Structure 1
Amino acid sequence: MNNRITYLITLGLSLLCLYSAHAETQKPNVLFIFADDQMWNSLGCLEGSQVKTPNLDRLRHQGALFTHAYNMGSYTPAVCVASRTMLNTGAFVWNAAELSPKGNNHNDPNAPKNQAKYTIDKRKPTGYWSQWMKEAGYETYFSGKWHVSGTKAKNLFDHVKHERGGMPGGAKKNYSREFIPGEPDGWSYDKSQGGFWQGGKHWSEVLGDDSEAFLEQAGKSDKPFFMYLGFNAPHDPRQAPKEYLDMYDVNKMKVPVNFLPEYPYNEAAGAGRGLRDERTAPFPRTEHAIKVTRQEYYALITHMDTQIGRILDALEATGKADNTYIFFTADHGLAVGDHGFLGKQNMYDSSMRVPFLLAGPGIPADSTVDAPIYLQDAMATSLAIAQFPKPKQVEFQNLLPLAKGETKTSAYDAIYGAYFGAQRMYRNEKYKMIIYPTINVVRLYDMVNDPLETKDLAEGRNRPVELMNSLFSAYQKQQEEMKDPVDVSKAYETFMSK
């Protein structure tokens, strides 16, 4: 009898050890949800927000909100291509340009004619995000917008359902709307206009369907999963079902404090009247056009939020939610009227800054991180979660120490921004400097006291010369670290000598 008891105890201990070892080696799952063109302050949980996002708010309450997440900029008018190339290769913007077929603007027909020129040497990536996750033992899933030049998602993921391009076609009316007060055109919910209604079902809803099916499949697998879900929303054409448009009264839409009929340097900045994004409303901008545009933009975000709710519910149904890290962010922001812009090809916070949420094991609920980060840090963070050694090509940083409250210090002293050779940005905790090298113009904003960037401190004779020189010196060091191919020193010197 004693021998039998001893045997059972030994067996039980052995099984317990085996279970513990399995639990220790079972890697967390990674669910990455990616929006397109979503400005940083378009979450319902933020003070003053007019947007309704109950499911993103739910995710925010589960984990950490990063309040200062940025895109680094772009070497192509399709900012999403640069952002997604950085995300999937892990390379900073100019190194990502080397890895992208569209990296050299001499070959880009959309490059502004007055653009400061640069030359990019071409090389092949050593790998992509999903490939490294596979090597770490993950089963990989993809559906939605890809838009990474030079490769296809179907060649990188185990499971691919829909691989969308940059934006839906067929919505020609998107560029000829007049926005006449009192004359609603039903654009958002008119399915005959094409766009997001191509195929008979709204693309956001299709991605919701794909996500539920993927999660049901992943729930039956013993392997950890990496799921990359790319919404095309809220990118234009800004179309959503009528019930979502009806949630927003156009007459109650707020016009941005920094609204302008037209930005004074938009042509020199490569973001003028001919740019596709800027042609979705006529010039000069009117307050009514911005109100309608924001009404449709918010409706599309809320519609996407409903699909995200479906995804979160499907994850819960797998029984694996407690061992899953969930990321939500966007490839860049969008102006939607800020400073007279509609697009994202500028250095203002509405276009450079994005929402960023991270929830998962060990991350305190309802926590907030104010330290500056780049949205592409999500990739480096997932590699850390997967216990995969960071490849040399990956320059972005692991956010887990910030998310878990182990540190309050960012890996970045300041945020860098660039658009072609026409715009440069240096953004530290207090100030933002913007440089337009083709016209020798510098702008400076106090981001603490003037977060909406309404007062240019560099304008006029009383500019803070000592402060500006200090910021520009710090920017030059940053530019060297980034391997920036455009020298802006002459533009700065010319401006400061005026």
Structure 2
Amino acid sequence: MRTLLSVDDAMRDFRDKLRSLGQLDNTLVLYTSDHGLLWADHGWLRKSVPYRPSLEVPFYLSWPGGGLGAARTDDRLTAHVDIAPTLLDAAGITPDTPHDGHSLLGTGDRDHVLAEWWWNRQDKQPIHSWATYIGKAELYTEYYDLHLDRQGRLPGGVNGGEVLFREYYDLRTDPYQLTNKLHGASAEQERRLGVPELARRLTAARTT
């Protein structure tokens, strides 16, 4: 917490300088962070696991001159790939090539976010490679027998590797991901949960 004081000081100085130049209201300020450690949440200390405390990061925008001066919460699904399109949009620049993300200054939204992690052989305590489909109200994860080779490539491609384990969480009723609804579930129960469709969507997201 003491080291964060220097960050607070830097942000104060930054805002004071913009204010002295008369540019504070007309500057788009974006705050975000790296993903944090879990500190024993779900029994993990690290952050390379598909649980919300590891996947989600703080994200704040301020730009009074652009209509972002009043406090409000936006519940759209976003990812770091949306940062560059947002800044380009604010500057009135149309990129020469398409982006994976979209500007958050408009009304565009997405119905899911894809997150992936691959075992890279450097971890003393290996975590199986995984991919997760994060929807508005659900999170579906597959763990794979898959790792990066010494050249950082995926043997067998993105969709290679046997599925070892799966998790499904209803984020509306279980926001802390405490009950994996696939544990002991029958094929019929999985169908009612929509898991086959989520598995299809996850595979499609990983290959596009």
Q: TM-score, normalised by structure 1?
A: 0.34
Alignment counterpart, residue 139 of structure 2, candidates 412, 425, 432: 432
Alignment equivalent of 2:78, drawn from 373, 387, 390? 373
Preserved CA contact (<8 Å) 2:33 2:58: yes
1:469 aligns with 2:187: no
- SS of 2:133 mapped into structure 1: strand
Query: Among 11, 19, 34, which residue is 1:316 paired with?
Result: 19
Q: Which residue of 1 aligns with 2:91?
A: 386
SS in 2 for 1:327: strand
Question: Using a 3 Å threshold, how does the CA distance of structure 1 residues 425 and 312 change in structure 2: closer, same or farther?
Answer: same
Find out whether 1:325 has 2:28 as its counterpart: yes
Alpha-carbon distance change, 303 to 341 in structure 1, aligned in 2, over 3 angstroms: farther
Hey, what does 1:400 align to over in structure 2?
Answer: 105
2:73 is paired with a residue of what secondary structure?
Answer: strand
Q: 1:303: Cα distance to partner?
A: 5.2
**1:222 alignment partner in structure 2:** none
Tell me the secondary structure at the aligned position of residue 305 of structure 1: helix
Partner of 2:157: none
Deviation (angstroms), 1:385: 1.4
Q: Report the secondary structure of 1:441's partner residue.
A: strand
| Distance in 1 (alpha carbons) for counterparts of 2:89 and 2:81 | 14
Measure, in 1, the Cα distance between the counterparts of 2:71 and 2:13.
Answer: 21
**In 1, are the aligned partners of 2:133 and 2:140 still within 8 Å (CA)?**
yes
The CA deviation at 1:364 is 4.6
Gaps of 5+ in 1: 1-239, 242-299, 402-406, 482-498
Rounded to whole Å, the distance in 1 between the matches of 2:41 and 2:97 is 38
Structure 2: runs of 5 or more not aligned: 120-128, 146-162
1:394 Cα deviation after fit: 2.8
1:86-485 equivalences in 2 (<5 Å): 240-241=1-2, 300-301=3-4, 304-360=7-63, 361=65, 362-392=67-97, 394-401=99-106, 407=107, 409-410=108-109, 412-420=110-118, 422-438=129-145, 440-462=164-186, 464-466=189-191, 467-481=194-208
Q: CA deviation at 1:306?
A: 4.0
Instruction: Describe the shift of the 1:369–1:458 C-alpha distance in structure 2 as closer, same or farther (beyond 3 A).
Output: same
Deviates more, 1:303-312 or 1:316-325: 303-312
Post-superposition shift, 1:304? 2.8
Partner Cα separation in structure 2 for residue 419 and residue 392 of structure 1:
26
Structure showing greater Rg? 1
TM-score calculated relative to the size of structure 2: 0.77
Q: Which amino acid aligns with 2:83?
A: A
Q: Tell me which amino acid in the other structure corresponds to 2:116.
A: A
Q: Secondary structure at the match of 1:389?
A: coil
For CA contacts below 8 A with separation 6 or more, give which structure has more relative contact order.
1
Root mean square deviation, CA, Å: 2.0
Contact 2:30 2:60 in 1 (8 A): yes
**Structure 1 segments (4+ residues) deviating >4 Å:** 300-303
Query: Separation in 2 of the partners of 1:325 and 1:313?
Result: 15
Give CA-to-partner distance per residue, 1:73-131, whole Å, 9 cap, x none: xxxxxxxxxxxxxxxxxxxxxxxxxxxxxxxxxxxxxxxxxxxxxxxxxxxxxxxxxxx
Alignment partners' CA distance in 2, 1:448 and 1:301: 33
Higher helix share: 1
| 1:333-377 CA distance string (max 9 Å, x none) | 331221122222111111111111111122251111101011231
